[in-house]
Amino acid sequence: MKPQQVTARIRSAGGLHIGLGIENISVGGAFVRCNTVIPVASRVSLEISRVGAGQPMVVPAKVTTCVSPADALRLNRAAGVGLEFLSVAPHVESWLTSTVAALLPKPVAPAPPVLEPVRVRRTLPSNRPAPAPVGDPEVTQPAIQVASVQRPDAALQQELAALRTKLSKHEALIAELTVENRKLKSLLKSRR
């Protein structure tokens, strides 16, 4: 992760390197920008400061990589040293964990579920018994969307059962009206 709110100083056998930017940091190590070459395997102390925080935390570390200014130019990357944190005290580890967590991007809310279109038959209320179904095409209204229910409770199940019963009655009425419509058309044709 690339933190902007964290700065560092490195104490090595060669001296103190002040005001360094941290290119990348995790709980196990960091890449610190530095124009000074520090030999790989060198033991150093990294002093990490968070903007607005109090005293810096001192973390013992070992140099695992070193990118000199000349190499940085050739590789088109930042000059600096890669550090592996060594034997970190529990309070420093806790501080590092909270620092890294504070620098991570905040999670994004999950996207709402995709709703599937459902075809619904247009129906009329009826108290008449349903006639036998006929082979006419269904009369339908435009598709509507229904969200799936993750945890249906008893009330939803009862409401769903009632709607299914009502839908069945309405379908029966449509079938009955279709049969009556055919009979009337036939009767009108025969009278002409």
Cβ neighbourhood burial of 158 (10 Å; 0-12, 13-18, 19+): exposed
- Residues facing residue 16 across a β-bridge: 11
**pLDDT (0 to 100) of residue 146:** 47
162: pLDDT confidence band, cut at 50, 70 and 90?
Answer: confident
Spatial CA neighbour of 28 closest among 104, 84, 103: 84
Average pLDDT of the residues of the chain = 76
What is the DSSP pairing of strand 80-85 with strand 29-33?
antiparallel
CATH of domain 6-103: 2.40.10.220
Position 134 scores a pLDDT of 54
Q: Where in the chain is the domain with CATH 2.40.10.220?
A: 6-103
Which residues make Cβ contacts (< 8 Å) with residue 53, sequence separation at least 6? none
C-alpha–C-alpha distance, residues 36 and 140, integer Å: 76
Band (83; pLDDT cuts 50, 70, 90): very high
What per-residue confidence (pLDDT) applies to 142? 47
Q: What is the pLDDT of residues 107-123, one digit of tens each?
A: 666 666 666 666 655 55
Residue 190 φ then ψ, to 5°: -70, -25
Question: pLDDT tens across 91-105, in order?
Answer: 888 877 877 777 666
